[in-house]
Amino acid sequence: MSIRFCTVLKQIRNIALLAAAGLALASCNSEPVALTPSELEDKRAELDAILADPAERTRLIARVMGSTEEADRHAFMKFHIFGFAGDGNLIPFFTMNNYIIQTWEPGDNDSFNVQHREVAYYSKFDTDEAISEWENPLTGETVTLPHFVLGPVPRQYGPGIGQGVESFGPDPMNITMIGDRVYVPTLTRLQLPNALLPEEWGAYSSGEVVYWDSMLVFSADVREALDNTKTHVPAEMHMQNLVSWAPYLKLGQSPGRTMVRAYGQHISGYDDLPAEIRENLETYTPEIFDVESWQELRLDTPELVMALNAQREAGTLDIDQPGYVEPRIKRFDELELEN
C-alpha cells in the first residue's frame, strides 16, 4: 500500500471522527424534542390534576417561582420605566437593572416561606449606563434618583393564602398552559396612605393615597414544571406595573402614573451577569453581594421619606427655600422626545 494512499485513508478517518463528534455535540446541545399533540393533551390533564389539589398546586408554584426545598434563587430583570401623564403616548423615563435573591424554605401546612431581597441601579433609558441624576421631561427639572434597595421582605405561599391577606408577595392567579409552557401569573393591588401629604410636601406628594398595581408572570417548560423530582426549574419572568408618581419625580398631584415593562429570568448567580451590569451593581448596591450581612430590613420609600425629613429639619429642602416655584407640568404635545 502506497504512502500516499495511507495518508488519504488517515484523512478520511479523521474527517469521519470529526463528523461523528460534531453529531454527538449537536445531539447534546439540541433543543428538547417537541411534544406531540397527544403528549400535550396528557400534560394538560396532568396539570389539571395538580391544580385540583391545593397542596400540589402550591408545590408547583414554588417549583416555578422559587424552590420546594431550602435554597436561594437568583434572578435578573430589566425594567424599562415610562411615564403616562393622562394623554398622548408613554414617555420614556429611565431603566432599572434589578437583581433579586429569594431564600425559599418549606413552612407549615404545605406552605413555603420566602425572604425577598432586591436591588437595582438606574441607567439611561434602554441602556446599562448608570445614572444618579435625571432630567424629568415633564418638568425640565433635574432630580436625584435613589438607587433601589429592598428587603429582606417576608413572603409566604400556601394552599390557604390568597389576595394579599397573609402575604406581602404577588398572589398567584389562575395557572394555565400555553403550548409547551406553564404560566403562573400573579397580581399585586395596593392602596396605601401616603406618608407625604400634599399640603406638607407639595411636589414630592402624589396625593393622600399611593396606588400600586403590578402583574408579574412566570413561565417554565411544562415537562420541568410538572416534574415532581425537581425542586426548582428555570423560569422566564415578565412584568407590567402601574404606580403613583414616586416622590423623587416631583410631579406632585398631576394626573398620571409610571408604567413599567420588565423582563428577565432565573440565573445561577452573580457570574451570569454581564461585566458592566455586575460592576454597576457592586458600585451602587453592594448589599446584594453580601446577603449574610444584610439582615436589617431596608424599605426604599420610608428611607426616602426619612431623607426628605432630614433635609427639612436641616433647612436644606428645596421646596422650603424662599422663592421656590414648582415647575409647570408640560403637556404631551410640548415634549421634545427622541423617540
Which of 152-155's residues contact partners 24+ apart within 8 Å by CB, and which partners? 152/103, 152/115, 152/116, 152/117, 152/294, 152/295, 152/297, 153/115, 153/116, 153/117, 153/297, 153/299, 154/113, 154/114, 154/115, 154/116, 155/102, 155/113, 155/114, 155/115, 155/116
Any bridge partners for residue 99, and if so which? 76, 119
Cell reading at 29: 446541545
Residues 6+ apart with CB under 8 A from 96: 78, 79, 81, 120, 121, 122, 123, 148
Confidence of residue 7 (pLDDT cuts 50, 70, 90): very low
Confidence of residue 17 (pLDDT cuts 50, 70, 90): very low
Backbone angles phi, psi at 224, to 5 degrees: -80, -40
Residues 6+ apart with CB under 8 A from 17: none
pLDDT for 173: 84
Domain residues of the chain, as ranges?
A: 33-334
Mean pLDDT in the chain?
88
Q: Between the CA of residue 295 and those of 135, 138, 197, 222, 233, what are the distances in Å?
A: 34, 38, 31, 36, 27
The model's pLDDT over 112-154, given as tens digits with 9 standing for 90+, comes to: 999 999 999 999 999 999 999 999 999 999 999 999 999 999 9
Cell reading at 140: 425640565
Helix-strand-coil percent breakdown of the chain, rounded to 5? 30, 30, 35
The model's pLDDT over 307-337, given as tens digits with 9 standing for 90+, comes to: 999 999 999 999 999 999 988 999 888 887 6
pTM score over 0.75:
yes
CB 209, CB 332: distance < 8 Å: no
Please state, as a whole number, how many other Cβ atoms lie within 10 Å of the Cβ of residue 23: 10
> In the structure, how many helices (H) and strands (E) does the chain have?
7, 12
Task: Using CA atoms of 283, 77, 58, 259 in order, give the dihedral in degrees to the nearest 10.
Answer: 110
In this prediction, residues 247-258 reach a mean pLDDT of: 96
d(CA 33, CA 180) in angstroms, rounded, equals 11
pLDDT for 161: 56
Residues 6+ apart with CB under 8 A from 286: none
d(CA 155, CA 180) in angstroms, rounded, equals 29
Specify the DSSP element, H or E, that contains 104: strand 91-106
Q: Which of 11-15, 27-31, 80-84 has the lowest mean pLDDT?
A: 11-15
- Which residue type sits at 213? D
**Range list of H helices, the chain:** 3-29, 37-51, 54-65, 198-201, 222-225, 275-284, 300-314
The model's pLDDT over 169-218, given as tens digits with 9 standing for 90+, comes to: 455 789 999 999 999 999 888 999 999 999 999 999 999 999 999 999 99
Cell reading at 299: 424599605
In this prediction, residues 242-254 reach a mean pLDDT of: 96
CB 180, CB 35: distance < 8 Å: yes
The model's pLDDT over 87-117, given as tens digits with 9 standing for 90+, comes to: 899 999 999 999 999 999 999 989 999 999 9
Peptide bond between residue 152 and the one before it cis (omega within 30 degrees of 0): yes
**Range list of H helices, 168-316:** 198-201, 222-225, 275-284, 300-314
In DSSP notation, 256-290 reads -EEEEEEEEEEESSGGGS-HHHHHHHHHH-GGGG-
pLDDT for 205: 97
